[in-house]
Amino acid sequence: MRALAVSLVLLSAIVPAAPARAAEPGPGAACTLTAADKVANAKLSFDDFDQTGVGPATWRQLSNHGCWAQAVEAAGDYLAHARFARASQQRDVIFHIGQSLGIEGKYEEAALMIASAKSPDPAAGEALDWNTYLEGTWAFFKRDRAALERARARLIGELGAGNQLNGSVLSGLVNCFDRPYAIAYESACRKGQ
């Protein structure tokens, strides 16, 4: 039962937790992050900061509004000051910083963050192959199509809903390799469009 709960938490951190849409801040979107916001964020649980975004200055809300620079800043501050119940939560925040940087077109910085989010010692038989997903995402940012294709093939060949979902994301990155990450990540690219 615990393994299922951990898998569901990890699965919720994969695609549903990714940035909503790569866009310029919409009308009325508040792309502000104050010192008080950072203090408040540090008191939030991982889920409240990263997954559901209970406040306007959380990574989730800032990224949902296209405030990528502020989302990166909020997540970096959260890494420095928040308490994590599990190392995987810290890796998810690092991964989301990488995604936000990638959406901004800062591929070298994004690649470094994605590489930093790998699990150092994945347990044999884990339901979610997180590291292969990260290797594929890293390869996209490093502009290494062959490595991306290898990671995608490995991931879509594995069982599990999370692996299939992440394999679909990597398929989108392959299908739209010559487009910006913000577009290649979208579901239309996953369908080969």
Domain span at residue 103 reads 31-117
Region 2-16: what's the mean pLDDT?
Answer: 36
Inside any domain, residue 11: no
Least confident of 44-48, 58-62, 157-161: 157-161
Provide the number of structural domains found in the chain: 2
Whether 129 and 189 map to the same domain: the answer is yes
- Report yes or no on 24 lying in a domain: no
- Domain shared by 37 and 112, yes or no: yes
**pLDDT at residue 127 greater than cutoff 90:** no
Pair (165, 113) in one structural domain: no
Q: Is residue 17 part of a domain?
A: no
pLDDT for res 192: 62
- Are residue 96 and residue 56 in the same domain, yes or no? yes
107 with 122, same domain: the answer is: no
Q: Is residue 58 part of a domain?
A: yes
Residue finishing a domain among 73, 102, 117: 117
For residue range 132-157, what is the model confidence (pLDDT) as tens digits?
999 999 999 999 999 999 999 999 99
Residue 151 and residue 83 in one domain: no
Mean pLDDT, to the nearest integer, of 38-59?
Answer: 95
Packing angle of the helix pair 130-141, 87-103 (nearest 10 deg): 20
Q: Give the pLDDT confidence score for residue 124 in this predicted structure.
A: 63
Residue partners of 113: CB distance under 8 A and separation at least 6: 94, 95, 97, 98, 101
User: Of 138, 166, 140, whose CA–CA distance to 153 is shortest?
Assistant: 166
Q: Are residues 94 and 68 part of one domain?
A: yes
Is the pLDDT reported for residue 2 higher than 70? no
Same domain, 151 and 129: yes
Residue 25 forms part of a structural domain: no
Domain membership flag for residue 23: no
pLDDT at residue 81 in the model: 97
For the segment 111-128, the average pLDDT, to the nearest whole number, is: 85
Would you state the pLDDT for residue 123?
A: 67
**What is the DSSP secondary-structure string of 120-160?**
SSPPTT-S--HHHHHHHHHHHHTT-HHHHHHHHHHHHTS-S
pLDDT category at 51 given cuts 50, 70, 90 is: very high
Residue 7's pLDDT band, with cuts at 50, 70 and 90, is very low
Output 159 or 193, whichever has higher pLDDT.
159
- Average pLDDT rounded to a whole number, residues 15-27: 45
Look at residue 7 and tell me if it is in a domain.
no
Is residue 26 included in any domain, yes or no? no
Residues 187 and 137 in one domain: yes
State whether 125 and 77 are in the same domain. no
Which of the four pLDDT bands, split at 50, 70 and 90, describes residue 182? very high
Residue 4 pLDDT: 32
Does 140 lie in the same domain as 94? no
